[in-house]
């Protein structure tokens, strides 16, 4: 395993953790919206917690983008050095590059969906839960 593969493995783990953090924050926001409905006396605390959860969603998206940039740069540098050394491109490395390209292309949708979720959440929309089921759940 070369230095790039080790670095990419760690960054891939961070990408996965970023996605899990986004999912957890969305779930927390939904829980707080529900708590507002069933515990009216705790509305102020629930709104504060929901706001924090929605901020965590946005932070998670930014962390995901940063880590995606890092792994993309690492794979590009690895490919450049491989070609400079006269070695043929590895099939696995090519597939990883394709997957990273797909992730990069889906990033605007993730950002837009996170923004839509925050708007639905902040407006107490009854569509909030449906939106999460349609967009964020597999």
What is the pLDDT, as a whole number, of residue 138? 64
Using the 8-state DSSP alphabet, how is residue 137 labeled? -
Share of the chain above pLDDT 90, in %: 62
Residue-averaged pLDDT of the chain? 91
What is the pLDDT, as a whole number, of residue 89? 74
Show me where the domains of the chain are located.
3-135
pLDDT digits (tens, 9 = 90+) for 50-92: 999 999 999 999 999 999 999 999 998 988 888 888 888 777 7
- CA 67 – CA 129 distance, rounded (Å): 28
Query: What is the distance in angstroms between the CA of the first residue and the CA of the last residue of the chain?
Result: 33
122-131's contacts with Cβ under 8 Å and 24+ in sequence apart are 122/54, 124/33, 124/36, 128/30, 128/33, 129/30
Q: Is the pTM of this model over 0.75?
A: yes
Q: Give yes or no for residue 112 having a pLDDT over 80.
A: yes
Task: Output the CA angle 76-107-19, nearest 5 degrees.
Answer: 95
């Amino acid at each position: 395993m070369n230095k790039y593969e080790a670095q990419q493995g760690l960054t891939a783990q961070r990408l996965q953790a970023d996605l899990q953090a986004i999912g957890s924050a969305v779930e927390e926001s939904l829980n707080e919206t529900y708590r507002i409905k069933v515990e009216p006396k705790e509305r102020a605390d629930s709104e504060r917690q929901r706001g924090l959860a929605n901020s965590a969603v946005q932070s998670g998206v930014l962390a995901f983008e940063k880590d995606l940039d890092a792994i993309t740069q690492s794979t590009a540098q690895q490919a450049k050095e491989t070609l400079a050394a006269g070695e043929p491109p590895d099939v696995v490395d090519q597939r990883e590059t394709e997957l990273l390209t797909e992730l990069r292309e889906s990033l605007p949708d993730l950002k837009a969906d996170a923004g839509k979720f925050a708007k639905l959440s902040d407006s107490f929309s009854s569509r909030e839960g449906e939106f999460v089921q349609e967009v964020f759940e597999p």
